[in-house]
Amino acid sequence: MATEEKGMGEWILFGVFQASILVYGFMGIRHQLERMPMDAMGDQSILLWIFIGVAGALFLAGYLGGGLFPSALARGILRWVVYNCIAVLGLVLAFLGFPTITWVGFPIVATALMIIHRPVGTN
């Protein structure tokens, strides 16, 4: 019985983290519907590349750092938090006015990574 509850708890946590990524995407789109994104990024284009680098570093930290935890739940939580951070980077770009095509990849990649690292059963 305890194993079932633990497995269900993992799915609930996974669902909460996944739902927050969807909220970030919705907030970014909603913000850009109210304020048009900039046409030309100009000097700010370097910020996009910095965020892509930060997202890559976060992914590596979450993926490699997850291996340090013996518990599958702890590995999952670490990775899900990191993937949410990646989605937040996209949200920040949206609020800064970057065109949708430049920031929407962050929550999409975060969602894909969440699906790849979803709970696989009970511990």
Q: 86-113 pLDDT, tens per residue?
A: 999 999 999 988 888 889 999 999 999 9
CA 55 to CA 62: how far, in whole Å?
10
Nearest to 118 by CA among 89, 91, 90, 79: 79
- Determine how many CB atoms are found less than 10 A away from the CB of residue 52: 14
CA 6 to CA 122: how far, in whole Å?
7
Residue 41 has pLDDT above 70, yes or no: no
Residue 4 has pLDDT above 50, yes or no: no
Summarize the confidence of residues 60-78 as an average pLDDT. 86
| Both structure tokens of 67 | 């291996």
- Per the prediction, the chain carries an average pLDDT of 86
Nearest to 110 by CA among 73, 92, 85: 85
Summarize the confidence of residues 54-67 as an average pLDDT. 89
- The percentage of residues in the chain with a pLDDT greater than 90, rounded to a whole number, is 50
pLDDT tens digits for range 74-89: 888 999 999 999 999 9
- Cα R_g (the chain), whole angstroms: 16
Nearest to 111 by CA among 13, 3, 19: 19
Amino acid present at 73: L
Residue 48 has pLDDT above 80, yes or no: yes
CA 104 to CA 8: how far, in whole Å?
30
pLDDT number for residue 39: 67
Summarize the confidence of residues 23-40 as an average pLDDT. 84
